[in-house]
A = this chain, B = another copy of it.
């Protein structure tokens, strides 16, 4: 790029694994992004429950990494950072809350009303208030992007909406939760019972101490709602999904399936007729959907291109950060 790079100031709201991953990814990739895409990303504000730190000229690496230097939440809230600090893109990376979408929902609305683009990994607001948020974004002439919310680093939203533009999408089905895939893969490989493998997954950090959102299919259902709304222009919420989790799957069931040439996987499926379903399903061993470990996968059935399958890491801070960075770059190219 010979022209002067465009400065893109971002805030990161929510500075846990994903928010920290974004800061780390910006640190590692800033020069390369400037060279290849002509944009210079500057982090001008960070805020989470522990406090906020801002610098309109760009925060130094030191400042980003030292939470102790932050202003207390009572002096400066996340909303203050979003509204009062001049910047172009608000990265919303607080944890998903499927009860009421907060605090992410308020952050996203505040940002759009303050004329910021929004890039988020937060599934809650999108699963609960998709139409309202997209309408607000359109009204303000801003973008609301969320590649990181579904499939982590696996580029599913943009793949369907952009790369496959021109195709009618008939259905999308896939494995959208790495924890369930890990548990079912290990159970099938080792013939071990659910509780045993869950405990193992918790010990190595693949499952949370309260695993219910993953193993009961809630996380998959929420992602399915986001796919339904963004790809099929539906207006679904979490309540519209028929959900069955993996807690009742036995090693015997997996063995029977295996003997017949199948694996059991927790599959989320949405078709353009409007059915949204999450349930354990038989997947032929030679089907592209049969991926192991913590991988995510989705098969997109289209009217021209046939079936397209994409496989990638569904979780991880730097993987989510990758999707967030790509979203930021795509706003400006």
Contacts and interface: CB of A to CB of B under 8 A. Distances in A.
Contact of A33 (B159, B166, B292): B166
Interface in A233-288: 286, 288
B305 A166 contact: no
B306 A153 contact: yes
Interface stretch (A55-63, A91-99, A312-320): A312-320
Interface string A56-90: 00000000000000000000000000000000000
A305 B313 contact: yes
A323 B162 CA distance: 11
The winner among A168, A312, A333 for most chain B CB atoms within 10 A is A312
Number of copies: 2
A310 B288 CA distance: 10
Contacts of A154: 305, 308
Interface stretch (A108-116, A201-209, A212-220, A324-332): A324-332
Nearest to A155: B163
Interface in A137-185: 147, 153-155, 158-159, 162-168
A199 interface: no
A127 interface: no
A32 to B, nearest CB: 7
A25 B333 contact: no
Contacts of A323: 305
B312 A155 contact: no
Interface in A19-52: 25, 28-29, 32-33, 36-37
Given A306-B312, A308-B154, A312-B308, A322 B292 contact: no
A309 B308 contact: no
B307 A319 contact: no
Given A166-B325, A291-B288, A304 B333 contact: no
B307 A322 contact: no
B309 A153 contact: no
B304 A166 contact: no
Contacts of A17: none
Contact of A322 (B36, B167, B318, B322): B167
B319 A313 contact: no
Contacts of A131: none
A311 interface: yes
A29 B316 CA distance: 38
B37 A165 contact: yes
Contacts of A303: 28
A309 B307 CA distance: 14
A-B pairs with lowest CB-CB distance, top 7: A166-B325, A153-B305, A304-B322, A155-B163, A309-B311, A305-B322, A165-B329
Given A159-B163, A306-B313, A307-B313, 17 more contacts: A25-B304, A29-B166, A36-B165, A153-B304, A153-B305, A153-B308, A162-B162, A162-B333, A164-B326, A165-B329, A165-B333, A304-B321, A305-B323, A306-B319, A308-B312, A309-B310, A310-B311
